[in-house]
Structure 1
Amino acid sequence: MTRYDAVVVGGGHNGLTAAAYLARAGLSVLVLERLDHVGGAAVSAQAFPDFPTRLSRYSYLVSLLPQQVVTDLGLDLRLVSRSTASYSPVVRDGRATGLLVEREEGEATRRSFRELTGSDDEYVAWRAFYDGVAGLAGAVAPTLTRPLATDAEVRAAVDPQIWHDVVERPLGEAIERRFRDDLVRGVVGTDALIGTFASLRDPSLVQNRCFLYHLIGNGTGEWRVPVGGMGSVTDALARAARDAGAEIVTGAGVSAILPGGPGEGAEVRWHDGTRERSVQARYVLANVAPWVLRILLGEGEDPATKPEGAQLKVNLLLSRLPRLRSGIDPAVAFAGTLHLAESASDLEVSWAAATRGELPDPLPGEVYCHSLTDPSILGDVPAGTHTLTYFGLHTPARLFDADPEAIRAEALRRAIASLDAVLEEPIESVVMRTPAGEPCIEAKIPQDVEADLAMPGGHIFHGDLDWPWAPARARLDTPAERWGVQTSYDAVLLCGSGARRGGAVSGLGGHNAAQAVLESRG
């Protein structure tokens, strides 16, 4: 075919979501993906060739994917709850201890708060805050798969104090006012900083928006493990798109999008490895970062507006889980999110160091063991084997520019040091090794994310997140504007993480772009 109703540029999970919706509605759809596989960041990979274990190499948990999308597309996908929400080891008065938060909070959580802080006051404050946040999540989540609500509409459905704390003022102010304990403050604050380089007191409120996205998924904010790894999400979406009739072409690096006049659609040009090709489309759905889209539209690169990622991702394969100094069962501590050097003061000191151009020390980060929840990803490996994923904060791309390999090695050393600080034994003593003796450790810096996934600056959200509603006086005249996917051209829509309600593995960018197209066609 030389003309399609819709061409989707980029075969990540959002692009596949859009393709599936449009094809199911009877439109002719072509998906063009530059890599030899679809999925973007939502992939499972055999990171260590000598072992069959398939790790979620980049993105690793699912929260924001609406159940509506799963149901609409008939996705064969199983998401499993983790038994632990978080564990935060710390040394208090010379004693190794920690803060345990169960996924369904009970007496063990209350007791942990009491033992850490000396009273029930912090847990009472914790429950009051998160009950309020749950109300905000309950108000926002249903709007994500509808035309944009206005800020006034959302505000009217939310407790005024929570709206003030989360939407109007820097989140750090509310955290400091509501909580006294430094570790408790940090545990609350980390959700505002994953994938976002900012102080908790940043007046731009970029950290507040990141916090909101981490807490609103399906109205509960729970982050779940996809059985089979993140690749299972991609596989389900690709199957839904193909079954509906969408064509998916890999190895197709798009070089240009050329919009025509009003009502004329656009031309898409790509290279198939042998020759240049082109196709006409009534609509082009861009599942690329807005910064990249401007280049494809011929507007050139603008270094001043290029996003910047700020994370260190480390994947490890272990012969067994290590013991912790606090004495907690490793199967409990590692089942959820293990916080390392993430007290509120640690986070602010690390942010300040990175702002000065210094690699933080200690390096704040979070650790996850997905194989405790989903052992199917391990494959045929010796008993006791587990995966481990470390996600480091406050490591902006600029820190690696001078010497990426040397600074990567130093960042990895500091990440391991942060983990070793809470362990009874060095993590490297339980790291699996290849037949050649090489440790099964893989470290990815923002530059790798950009090179592998074409996310500018390695920014995992394609840029700073927006509030998931329309601001006052926003234009909502066209379907694309009402769904938050508009660009400067009627025929070109955003359908990725850079859409107003994009970010994380949600399918929202794809769902909403598809709805805008369908609304435009009447």
Structure 2
Amino acid sequence: MTERRDVVIIGGGHNGLAAAAYLAKAGLDVEVLERLDVLGGAAVSAQAFPGVDARLSRYSYLVSLLPQKVIDDLGLSIALAPRRYSSYTPNPHGAGGLLVDDHDPAATAASFASLGAAADAEAWQRFYAGTGRLARALFPTVTDPLLTRAEARAAVGDDALWDALIERPVGTTIAETFADDLVRGVVYTDALIGTFAPNDDASLLANRCFLYHVIGGGTGAWNVPVGGMGAVSGELARAARLAGARLTTGAEVVALDGDRVVTVREAGGERRIAADQVLVNCSPAELARLLATGSGDDGGLGAASPAAEGAQVKVNLLLSRLPRLKDAALAPEAAFGGTFHINETFRQLQAAYDEAAAGRVPDPLPAEIYCHSLTDPSILGPELRASGAQTLTVFALHAPDRLVTEATNDAMRQTLQAAVLSSLDSVLAEPVESLLLSDANGDPCIETKTTRDLEHALRLPGGSIFHGDLSWPWLEDDAPTGTPAERWGVGTGLAGIHFCGSGAQRGGAVSAIGGHNAAMAVLEERAGL
């Protein structure tokens, strides 16, 4: 017997939960089907180390793009804590480093001057005043139907700014704006989070990544979710349940046909669910596979979607204390209080790209670190907090999936972990491994995830945290807008089947934007708009 629902949502990540909450609040019969035993997808907290009372944000870890509108609409109790320091970057070729203190402009200017980059301090202020204008113009539009490119450009109202950051490679703009190699690198890293691109990226993929990193909340600030990322997904799940949505875990969707009939495999066997609308909180590649299994036709998605490739390695560490720095004049609490950039000068980033493109692990491996527990110690148990223990999360750049195969994944995980630790040690006064706590089995508290690990655990194609290439947050001027799915950027080309996660236009990161917009498209369709 085939069951019926108004809406079935494939995937219980944070976007799927957001869509479920909106649609159930509107009175629809909604079921979320999640393959894993926990909800949240990549936005989860976990006890990563056996017997250790620490719940780490395992995959995604900071929040910028979650609109206040979604928080208010769904009544979410979410605390996002700001960080005093924007970033610290040690000088890999000399003494000192660049500390950007959001609360002390004079100290920040002095830090620029200590590098011999006083002129870049003024350029920094002008440059980020420009990204602030972009953010204020564009971020309020992400929960509305898509603007056209011409409308977005008009909303920004600054053709020179638009051309510098949208129309020409952002790396070129950065190189022309700043003189210092370290400063250039710090700015450019926002274009490379999960994105494999050279400094002069003619494809403008780096521009798209950069844009999403600087517009969040209308300010570009990245905040720490109090309680860990699981607290964010937990609130979305609570809102969906209270609205009446069914949230089913341990339910793997194995097929979907063009008539929107879902086949789901659970512990008790298989069942079939027919839905008026199906929302897909998984990648285009995964949707193509489900359609091919369900009806023998992938809807053209397989051919239309280029192969996705992630470009990062993620390392979680639990330390007995913060490590001492080579720069003994700077307190570790300040250095690790924001984003800690390691070996990410502009030249180092290009050299690392070139090495990875040639099939080699970069040496040194560019990486950036943040310390959740400094801003939010609640993720640690009382004894760990009292002991001075701290978490470090490392996101290494230019580690593309092409470096890893199924056969070499275990060995490459160790190679990449060693490269991350070596890169970190190059700017510390002591080996970071000497500070690792041990878990209940006596093993060091370090967890490394390759792109292939992400594909296995979360079905992210090629380990891509964006499900593929990021899109601009607007439509091209000649793009069709005849359907709600087209206007909201959630269309798959198949009637009644919509993306609602990172595969949607304006997808990517912990934002709930994809879920919100898919829900709005469904409601418009049902209203006959």
Q: Distance in 2 between matches of 1:506 and 1:326?
A: 36
Answer yes or no: is the 8 Å Cα contact 1:51–1:381 preserved in 2: no
Answer yes or no: is the 8 Å Cα contact 2:32–2:248 preserved in 1: yes
Shift of 1:91: 4.3
Q: Distance in 1 between matches of 2:65 and 2:40?
A: 17
**In the alignment, which of 382, 395, 402 is matched to residue 399 of structure 2?**
395
Q: Deviations over 1:155-199 (max 9, x none)?
A: 113221211111101111101111110000000000000010111
1:127 aligns with 2:121: no
Match of residue 434 from structure 1: 439
**Structure 1 residue matching 2:491: 3-state secondary structure:** coil
**In the alignment, which of 499, 511, 514 is matched to residue 509 of structure 1?**
514
Of residues 339-348 and 428-437 in structure 1, the stretch that sits farther from structure 2 once superposed is: 428-437
Shift of 1:295: 1.2
Q: Deviations over 1:313-361 (max 9, x none)?
A: 0000000001101121001110110000100000000001000001000
Q: Deviations over 1:61-96 (max 9, x none)?
A: 00000000000000011110012110001145x4x2
**In the alignment, which of 491, 495, 509 is matched to residue 490 of structure 1?**
495
**Structure 2 residue matching 1:487: 3-state secondary structure:** strand
**Structure 2 residue matching 1:100: 3-state secondary structure:** strand
| Structure-to-structure mapping, 1:262-277, within 5 angstroms | 266-277=260-271
Normalised by the length of structure 2, the TM-score is: 0.95
Shift of 1:381: 2.9
Answer yes or no: is the 8 Å Cα contact 2:52–2:440 preserved in 1: no
**In the alignment, which of 288, 293, 311 is matched to residue 287 of structure 2?**
293
Q: Distance in 2 between matches of 1:375 and 1:224?
A: 14
One-letter code of the match for 1:155?
A: R
Q: Deviations over 1:11-45 (max 9, x none)?
A: 00000000000000111100000101110000000
Closer/same/farther in 2, CA of residues 9 and 333 from structure 1, 3 Å limit:
same
Answer yes or no: is the 8 Å Cα contact 1:192–1:200 preserved in 2: no
Q: Distance in 1 between matches of 2:65 and 2:170?
A: 21
Answer yes or no: is the 8 Å Cα contact 1:259–1:491 preserved in 2: no
Shift of 1:435: 4.8
**Structure 1 residue matching 2:91: 3-state secondary structure:** strand
Q: Distance in 2 between matches of 1:475 and 1:97?
A: 53
Shift of 1:118: 4.7
Match of residue 312 from structure 1: 313
Root mean square deviation, CA, Å: 1.4
1:326 aligns with 2:330: no
Q: Which runs of 4+ in 1 moved over 3 A?
A: 299-304
| Percent of residue pairs identical | 55
One-letter code of the match for 1:267?
A: V
Q: Distance in 1 between matches of 2:132 and 2:270?
A: 51
Structure 2 gaps of 5+ residues are none
Match of residue 368 from structure 1: 370
One-letter code of the match for 2:414?
A: A
One-letter code of the match for 2:390?
A: H
**In the alignment, which of 135, 142, 146 is matched to residue 140 of structure 2?**
142
**Structure 1 residue matching 2:202: 3-state secondary structure:** coil
Q: How many residues align?
A: 514
**Structure 2 residue matching 1:277: 3-state secondary structure:** strand
Shift of 1:110: 1.0
Structure 1 gaps of 5+ residues are 261-265
Answer yes or no: is the 8 Å Cα contact 1:186–1:344 preserved in 2: yes
Q: Distance in 2 between matches of 1:200 and 1:462?
A: 22
| Structure-to-structure mapping, 1:14-413, within 5 angstroms | 14-92=15-93, 94=94, 96-104=95-103, 106-119=105-118, 121-158=119-156, 159-260=158-259, 266-298=260-292, 299=297, 305-327=306-328, 328-382=330-384, 383-401=387-405, 403-413=408-418
Match of residue 466 from structure 1: 471
Shift of 1:437: 3.4
**Structure 2 residue matching 1:351: 3-state secondary structure:** helix
One-letter code of the match for 2:276?
A: R
Q: Distance in 1 between matches of 2:423 and 2:335?
A: 15
One-letter code of the match for 2:510?
A: V
One-letter code of the match for 2:388?
A: G
One-letter code of the match for 2:334?
A: V
Match of residue 263 from structure 1: none
